[in-house]
Amino acid sequence: MIVNCVAYRDGERLADLMEEEISDYLEKPDCFVWVALCDATAQELELMKKEFHLHELAVEDARHGHQRPKIEEYGESLFVVMHLLEQVKGELRLGEMNVFVGHNYVLSVRSHSQRHFVAVRERCEREPHLLRHGSGFVLYALMDAVVDRYFPLMDQLESELEEIEEQIFSKNAARSNIERLYELKRKVMLLKHAVAPLMEASGKLFGNRGPEVCARGREYFRDVHDHLSRINASIDTIRDTIGTAIQVNLSMVAIEESEVNKKLAAWAGIFAVVTAFVGIWGMNFKSMPELQWEYGYPLALAVIGVTSLVMYRRFRHAGWL
């Protein structure tokens, strides 16, 4: 589906185009065309391929989807793949943003994503002094918008981790902690896969030998790269912390179990003594004088009670109870 198809000159909106008009405007000097597709069909991609002379391999990648984030140069044009991550009902859904950029065109293809990028076009049109830089600036604006959407996601993952951390030393939470940590790790890996390859690829956009298209605005691409570095560092910390948290959780299970074991051992000990005593006085020997005493029974109970109490206190003191 074609969302938008506009020609720009000198940072100003020139005209909304029909698909057939694209090639006319591509030939005009100082003019560039910015087309936005959404969940594009094979036909639409084929059409765009012809209009913009896109490379077959790049178009094929866009058609297939499921690419890693990357930035590829085909001659003087760029093909950029970015991941879109959207939280839908507690699940992270993976969409894709493919951008084809040449010196006089930008073609963005959004897939499997419900949040549009109209705001990017609006921002660009609000800043004509920057849009004047041409298609490179549009690429920056798109990348910046995609990357900016990673931040709230990362904040959310961080606060999920903090929630788990608050539970990690409390009792009886080991099972839910480990389930949540595992689920969190899965999400973090998704974000990592979106961020790390893009960070690496974007590092080439602002060096001295970066592509021509990005030449006028290296600081902007460095800024995008810097944002990605920041997210990436945070992700690495979260991953590292999840690893430690899993270990700590296991330690807590072991510690709790050893406490239960001590309790069990202490009570077992007390009752073993009680059982020994009552067993002894339950024996059928003919001559057991204490059985005949008048206060034998209460005395026996007293002995049993006192012994138990003494043991209880000792276990308590030793921290077993």
CA–CA separation, 298 vs 69, rounded Å?
Answer: 83
For residue 76, state whether it binds a second copy (rule: CB under 8 A): no
For residue 303, state whether it binds a second copy (rule: CB under 8 A): no
Residue 70 structure tokens? 């990357």
Tell me whether residue 287 is exposed, middle or buried, using C-beta atoms within 10 angstroms of its C-beta: 0 to 12, 13 to 18, 19 or more.
exposed
How many residues bind to a second copy according to rule CB under 8 A? 87
Residue 88 structure tokens? 């839908």
Residue 79 structure tokens? 């093909």
From candidates 175, 216, 313, 316, binder to a second copy by CB under 8 A: 175
CA–CA separation, 234 vs 148, rounded Å?
Answer: 14
- Shortest gap between Cβ of 5 and a second copy (angstroms)? 27
Residue numbers 221-280 binding a second copy by CB under 8 A: 222-223, 226, 229-230, 233, 237, 240-241, 243-258, 260-265, 267-269, 271-276, 278-280
For residue 215, state whether it binds a second copy (rule: CB under 8 A): no
For residue 314, state whether it binds a second copy (rule: CB under 8 A): no
From candidates 1, 291, 306, 309, binder to a second copy by CB under 8 A: 291
Angle at 284 between CA 279 and CA 290, to 5 degrees: 75
- Of residues 25 and 221, the one with the C-beta less far from a second copy: 221
CB atoms near residue 25 (< 10 Å):
20
Binding mask 154-173 for a second copy (x = CB under 8 A): -----------x--xx--x-
Residues 6 or more apart whose CB falls under 8 angstroms from that of 288 comprise 281
- Of residues 152 and 243, the one with the C-beta less far from a second copy: 243
CA–CA separation, 156 vs 161, rounded Å?
Answer: 9
For residue 118, state whether it binds a second copy (rule: CB under 8 A): no
For residue 144, state whether it binds a second copy (rule: CB under 8 A): no
For residue 310, state whether it binds a second copy (rule: CB under 8 A): no
- Of residues 18 and 283, the one with the C-beta less far from a second copy: 283
- Of residues 6 and 281, the one with the C-beta less far from a second copy: 281
Closest CA to 192 of 244, 240, 144: 240
- Of residues 119 and 276, the one with the C-beta less far from a second copy: 276
Residue 194 structure tokens? 């979106």
Q: Which residues pair with 97 in a beta bridge?
A: 82, 110
CA–CA separation, 93 vs 242, rounded Å?
Answer: 22
- Of residues 1 and 260, the one with the C-beta less far from a second copy: 260
- Shortest gap between Cβ of 273 and a second copy (angstroms)? 7
Q: Give the full edge-to-edge strand order of the sheet including 12-16.
A: 12-16, 2-9, 31-38, 105-111, 91-102, 77-88, 70-74
Binding mask 184-213 for a second copy (x = CB under 8 A): -xx--x---x---x----------------
